[in-house]
């Protein structure tokens, strides 16, 4: 990897933000890093005479950083588009059905990487939401998690009701490259966008990591419950 790529890899340590920043703030911060790297690469290329090989190296660095910026801008645009599209009429939706449907849709992808999706869900887990939007969030979330799951291992999901809320827990052995070699991967961007989607649906999101095991916990009100959340309850589950 180029020097610029290595610098960026050391600055970005992936996944959904664990420091309280919103996904948008996290993406904007991540965008600033390759932008600064590109500026430095261009400035260095103008400092005194350089060999053709050095100019070529600077161009390669610039193209690499530009490609990363383009990916980040596309993710930002997706978040902005989702936020600008106001909610239409909500309805009572079975989250169990959405999880089961998405599991079936992703089975071919899981089989292609010799992995499995193990879903244990109460039924019906009724929530109030815009069905199509919530279905898209569930798919985005599970697809990103499965893409991160190590070859031959399992993506484990549980969904259960608890004191007027739906509690979803997803855990997997992370098989993506380390942040030093793959900063802000496609899977990590997918999780960031999924996190924003869950929050727009009124959910809480907690991300935990122990070694190579990634765990995401999501908590949102049942259709008949109050929309009050208990963040400390989620963290201690």
pLDDT digits (tens, 9 = 90+) for 183-210: 567 888 889 899 999 998 899 999 999 9
Mean pLDDT of all residues in 16-39: 79
Around 158, how many Cα atoms within 13 Å sit in the side-chain half-sphere? Answer: 9
What pLDDT is stored for residue 52 in this prediction? 86
What pLDDT is stored for residue 232 in this prediction? 43
Q: What is the mean pLDDT of the chain?
A: 82
Mean pLDDT of all residues in 22-42: 86
Say which range, 14-18, 81-85, 108-112, 159-163, has the weakest mean pLDDT. Answer: 14-18
User: The whole model's pTM is what?
Assistant: 0.73
State the Cα–Cα distance between residues 12 and 178, nearest whole angstrom: 11
Neighbours of 65 (CB within 10 A): 25
Mean pLDDT of all residues in 82-98: 82
What pLDDT is stored for residue 156 in this prediction? 97
What pLDDT is stored for residue 22 in this prediction? 80
What pLDDT is stored for residue 87 in this prediction? 60
Say which range, 201-205, 209-213, 231-235, has the weakest mean pLDDT. Answer: 231-235
């Amino acid at each position: 990897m180029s020097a610029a790529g290595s610098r960026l890899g050391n600055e970005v340590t992936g996944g959904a933000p664990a420091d309280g920043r919103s996904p948008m703030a996290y993406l904007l911060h991540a965008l600033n890093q390759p932008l600064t790297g590109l500026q430095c690469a261009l400035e260095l290329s103008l400092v005194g005479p350089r060999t053709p090989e050095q100019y070529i190296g600077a161009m390669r660095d610039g193209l690499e950083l530009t490609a990363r910026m383009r990916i980040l801008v596309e993710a930002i645009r997706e978040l902005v588009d989702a936020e600008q599209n106001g909610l239409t009429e909500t309805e009572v939706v079975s989250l169990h059905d959405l999880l089961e449907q998405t599991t079936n849709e992703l089975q071919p992808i899981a089989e292609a990487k010799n992995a499995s999706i193990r879903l244990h869900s109460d039924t019906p887990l009724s929530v109030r939401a815009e069905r199509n939007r919530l279905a898209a969030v569930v798919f985005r979330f599970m697809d990103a998690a499965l893409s991160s799951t190590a070859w031959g291992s399992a993506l484990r999901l549980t969904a259960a009701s608890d004191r007027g809320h739906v509690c979803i827990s997803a855990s997997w052995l992370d098989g993506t490259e380390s942040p030093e070699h793959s900063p802000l991967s496609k899977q990590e961007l997918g999780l960031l966008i999924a996190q924003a989607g869950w929050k727009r649906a009124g959910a809480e999101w907690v991300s935990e990591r122990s070694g190579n095991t990634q765990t995401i916990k999501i908590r949102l009100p049942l259709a008949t419950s109050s929309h009050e959340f208990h963040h400390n309850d989620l963290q201690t589950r």
